[in-house]
Amino acid sequence: MTLYAFYGAVEQGFAFGLMVLGLYLTFRILDFPDLTVDGSLPLGAAVSAVAITNGHSPVLAIIMASCAGFLAGMVTGILNTKFRILHLLASILTMISLYSINLRIMGKPNMTLLGKDTVVDSFTAFSGLPQYMSTPILFCIICAVAVAVLIWFMHTEIGMTVLATGNNPQMITSLGVNTHTVIIFGVGLSNALVAASGALVAQNQGAADVNMGVGTIIAGLASVIIGETLFGDRTIARALIAALLGSVIYRIAIALALGLKLGAFSVTPSDLNLITAILVVSALVMPKMKKKVLAGRAK
């Protein structure tokens, strides 16, 4: 792996880091498998691309993207709670409608940002570093701020109810909290993060594309699971940081796979999806193996 590929992997890890944090919120904390993300990631990209093209600042574009993502997540939450549609189905419905909505927002399937001012360009100019170094630093800072805010939020009263809703909905209902509101808000918050991630990715790759959400959920889940396996999830702070690092490690693994050559055997581009799947399966299986080994030792 070359230096550029390594920096690039770190950069991608953090660019998708916000998405992984969002996914952690729904998947682990709210216990809500949310497939909206495959649609809300390009939603964030689309909104930010349109905002930038219309002359708004790239930072405002990210904020607008998050708001759009929040609304998308709320729709999934409302479908699930108020209309009693199974969470998986509710999120799939939002996801497929977002495809059409994203096309409407951009007015075309691919909207270029090449030559436009993005957060990446502004920060590169500000830091004076070459772009391949400045971008991972910028995305790392953004993720660090997001993690800090999330940790703070989880210790507030509302944050506590979000945590409790995922853990024990009966208990939290008996305390007089409306779980519906918490779920709608939680899924909204998650998708706000995912859309912000989409905005970062689009600004980084130079275009928003209606098909860029494909595979988001797989990458997100893989990152969450790799993070948990390697760094643990004892406390909420640790779990969030683990998920973020999981995202970076997942992308480094992909970069390694992309450049893998073992003697005469070299990985061809067509093997990439298989390698991704193997990576996810091993991350899923490893904790169980670890438990088995530990249980074996205890005897």
Partner 1 sequence: MKKLLVAAMAVLLVAGSVIAGKQHVVSVNQIVEHPSLDAMRQGFMDRLKELGLDATYNVHIAQGNQANNIQIANQIKGEAPDLVLAITTPSAQVVAQKIKDHPIVFTGVTDPVSAGLVKDLNNTGGTNITGMSDMSPMDQHAALVKEIVPDAKAVGVIYNAGEPNSVVLVTRLREEAAKLGMTVEEATIANSSGVYQAAKSLVGRCDAIYIPLDNTVVSALESAIKVCRQNRLPLISGDTDSVARGTIAAVAVDYYGMGVQTADIAKRILADGITPGDIPVEFINKVNLHVNKKAAAEMGVSLPESVLKRAEVVID
How far apart are CB 9 and partner 1 at their closest, in Å? 6
With H, G, I as helix, E, B as strand and everything else as coil, classify residue 129: coil
Nearer to partner 1, 13 or 166 (CB): 13
Q: Smaller CB distance to partner 1: residue 47 or 113?
A: 113
Q: Which residues contact 157 (CB under 8 A, 6 or more apart)?
A: none
Instruction: Of 203, 56, 253, give the one whose Cα is nearest residue 195.
Output: 203
The DSSP H or E segment spanning 210 is none
Between 48 and 179, name the residue whose CB sits nearer to partner 1: 48
Strand partners of residue 260: none
H or E element in which residue 28 lies? none
Smallest gap from Cβ 109 to partner 1, in A, equals 4
Secondary structure letter of residue 156 according to DSSP: S
| Phi, psi dihedrals of residue 139, rounded to the nearest 5° | -65, -35
- Give least dist CB 33 to partner 1, A: 20
Closer Cβ to partner 1, 101 or 241, answer by number: 101
Contacts of 149 (CB under 8 A, 6+ apart): none
CB 232 → partner 1: shortest distance, Å?
26
Least distance (Å) between residue 198 CB and partner 1: 11
46 or 154: CB nearest partner 1: 46
User: CB of 255: closest distance to partner 1 in angstroms?
Assistant: 5
Residue 64's identity, in one-letter code, is M
Q: Would you tell me which residues interact with partner 1 (CB under 8 A)? A: 1-5, 7-9, 11-12, 16, 96, 99-100, 103, 108-110, 112-115, 131-132, 201, 204-207, 209-212, 214-216, 219, 251, 254-255, 258-259, 269-270, 272-273
**Closer CB to partner 1, 42 or 69, in the complex:** 42
CA distance to 51, 92, 124, 199, 264, per residue, from 118 (Å) = 11, 31, 10, 10, 42
